């Protein structure tokens, strides 16, 4: 069991990291260094030798290794990002970078995404130093920059330029899993992520004939673009069940005593009620139009019009995604990836998954662990290039009145102290046995 000091430190560190403003506005506008130094100091205090690594000055990553007792065992990567998305202070009940602890709740940007997990990792590692605990496997601890933008200064840089630091790592854990999902009917689920959809951010360009707005124009770029955008936005993507989504549906159906009829998934989702939220965004690819850009004067037809689409595809369904986009855009509109990231698939029948499940169930005996696939992506995508299979495991026990999903990148992001304590205990138990 993690000691009282670890429980105190996880709150202190969550708050302390929130107070260091690491807002990532994209385009390189972020400074993680003070947060990286904060984390590195605490790792050094636990007898580790953290390395500070930068591709760009100020965009600092931290990596440290804890040697395990079994040198033949593969290493496990435990990673968390240090940057956060912007927060508009005027919208918040407390200042988003105050790290205020009020009525048993830590407030601020990063409280759930994911300075909480960074703090949990630090608290656990430090408690091990006090107790003389060594894990079985080598643990590689990484705190990264730039997760909320391109990861080019963060995990992407580490994977490309410092693969030696991750030698022996076969599996990894990070954000977005093992939090309490209340189903509204008294059941508490703990979804652990075993996969991510891939990211395909697209730029569409329509070309046509520029001219006067009062003349006949059958080659209007705006019309062509609008038609393509409408086709994409209205497209009904077919069902594509990955092994993780299949397992999620099967386990949820069993939990609710429903027949797991995978031939009629939409009906099955309906029967699952609120729990369907955990799966519904990952049973098919998706493509949402999000930005339009065309024209400069009302009575001038522009020669070109541009749109952006937020596309996501499941593991094994990327080729189909590309082919479908070719078809939907048609001959007058071209498309390209503005940003492209792979989809991930992790096995749910692995020993590691069983250990994560056991650790959660030990501290939340009333909870039900289920696998799920993330609809978006994390640093695990970059680390997958090193052959590391990523899971989403950042345990939090949350009260029913806290809408965890809405707190991600949301206003009044906050985390209860008790949730952090639970997280430390579960993470400690899991990492000892992993």
* Residues carrying an active site annotation: 83, 147
Which one among 175, 318, 341, 379 touches Zn ion, defined by CB under 5 A? 175
Task: Name the nearest CA neighbour of 9 among 97, 113, 126.
Answer: 126
Q: Cα separation of 394 and 75, whole Å?
A: 18
Q: At what angle do helices 115-131 and 4-19 cross, to 10 degrees?
A: 140
Q: Which stretch binds Zn ion (CB under 5 A): 58-66, 122-130, 175-183, 300-308?
A: 175-183
117 belongs to the binding site for Zn ion (CB under 5 A): no
Q: Which is nearer to Zn ion, 22 or 389 (CB)?
A: 22
379 belongs to the binding site for Zn ion (CB under 5 A): no
* Paired residues of 341 in beta bridges: 199
Residues binding Zn ion: number (CB under 5 A)? 3
Residue 142 burial (C-beta neighbours within 10 Å; 0-12, 13-18, 19+): buried
Residue 369, helix vs strand vs coil: strand
Which one among 12, 32, 113, 196 touches Zn ion, defined by CB under 5 A? 113
Q: Cα separation of 112 and 414, whole Å?
A: 7
171 belongs to the binding site for Zn ion (CB under 5 A): no
Closest CB to Zn ion: residue number: 113
Sequential DSSP letters for 338-349? EEEE--EE--SS
* Contact assessment for residue 287 and residue 314, using Cβ atoms and an 8 Å cutoff: no
Q: Which is nearer to Zn ion, 9 or 113 (CB)?
A: 113
- Please report how close the Cβ of residue 114 comes to Zn ion at its closest, in angstroms: 5
30 belongs to the binding site for Zn ion (CB under 5 A): no
114 belongs to the binding site for Zn ion (CB under 5 A): yes
- Please report how close the Cβ of residue 86 comes to Zn ion at its closest, in angstroms: 14
Q: Which is nearer to Zn ion, 83 or 138 (CB)?
A: 83
Question: In degrees rounded to 5, what are phi and psi of residue 200?
Answer: -130, 90
- Please report how close the Cβ of residue 175 comes to Zn ion at its closest, in angstroms: 5
- Please report how close the Cβ of residue 379 comes to Zn ion at its closest, in angstroms: 8
Q: Where are the beta strands (DSSP E) in 146-215?
A: 169-174, 181-182, 188-196, 198-207, 211-212
84 belongs to the binding site for Zn ion (CB under 5 A): no
- Please report how close the Cβ of residue 2 comes to Zn ion at its closest, in angstroms: 23
Which chain residues interact with Zn ion by CB under 5 A? 113-114, 175
């Amino acid at each position: 069991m993690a000691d009282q000091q670890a429980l105190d430190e996880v709150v202190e560190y969550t708050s302390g990291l929130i107070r260091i403003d690491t807002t990532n506005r994209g385009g390189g506008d972020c400074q993680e260094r003070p947060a990286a130094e904060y984390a590195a100091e605490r790792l050094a205090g636990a007898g580790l030798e953290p390395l500070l690594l930068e591709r760009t000055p100020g965009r600092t990553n931290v990596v440290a290794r804890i040697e395990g007792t079994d040198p033949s065992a593969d290493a496990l990567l435990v990673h968390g990002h240090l940057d956060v998305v912007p927060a508009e202070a005027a919208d918040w009940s407390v200042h988003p970078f105050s790290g205020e602890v009020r009525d048993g709740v830590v407030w601020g940007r990063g409280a759930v995404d994911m300075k909480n997990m960074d703090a949990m990792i630090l608290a656990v590692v430090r408690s091990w130093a006090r107790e003389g605990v060594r894990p079985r496997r080598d643990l590689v601890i990484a705190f990264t920059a730039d997760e909320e933008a391109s990861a080019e200064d963060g995990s992407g840089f580490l994977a490309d330029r410092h693969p030696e630091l991750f030698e022996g790592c076969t599996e990894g854990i990070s954000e977005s899993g093992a939090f309490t999902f209340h189903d509204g009917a008294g059941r508490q689920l703990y979804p652990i992520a075993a996969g991510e959809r891939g990211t395909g951010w697209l730029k569409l360009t329509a070309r046509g004939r520029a001219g006067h707005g009062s003349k006949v124009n059958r080659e209007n770029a705006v019309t062509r673009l609008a038609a393509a955008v409408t086709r994409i936005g209205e497209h009904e993507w077919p069902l594509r069940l990955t092994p993780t989504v299949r397992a999620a549906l099967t386990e949820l159906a069993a939990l609710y005593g429903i027949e797991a009829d995978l031939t009629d998934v939409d009906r099955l989702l309906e029967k699952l009620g609120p729990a369907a939220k955990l799966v519904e965004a990952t049973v098919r690819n998706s493509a949402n139009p999000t930005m339009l850009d065309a024209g400069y004067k009302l009575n001038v037809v522009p020669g070109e019009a541009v749109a952006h689409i937020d596309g996501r595809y499941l593991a094994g369904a990327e080729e189909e995604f590309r082919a479908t986009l070719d078809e939907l855009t048609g001959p007058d509109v071209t498309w390209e990836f503005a940003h492209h990231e792979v989809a991930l698939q992790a096995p749910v029948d692995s020993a590691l998954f069983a250990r994560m499940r056991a650790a959660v169930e030990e501290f939340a005996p009333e909870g039900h662990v289920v696998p799920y696939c993330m609809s978006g992506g994390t640093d695990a995508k970059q680390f997958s290039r090193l052959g590391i299979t990523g899971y989403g495991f950042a345990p939090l026990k949350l009260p029913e009145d806290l809408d965890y999903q809405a707190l991600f990148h949301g206003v009044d992001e906050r985390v209860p102290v008790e949730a952090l304590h639970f997280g430390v205990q579960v993470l400690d138990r899991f990492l000892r046995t992993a």
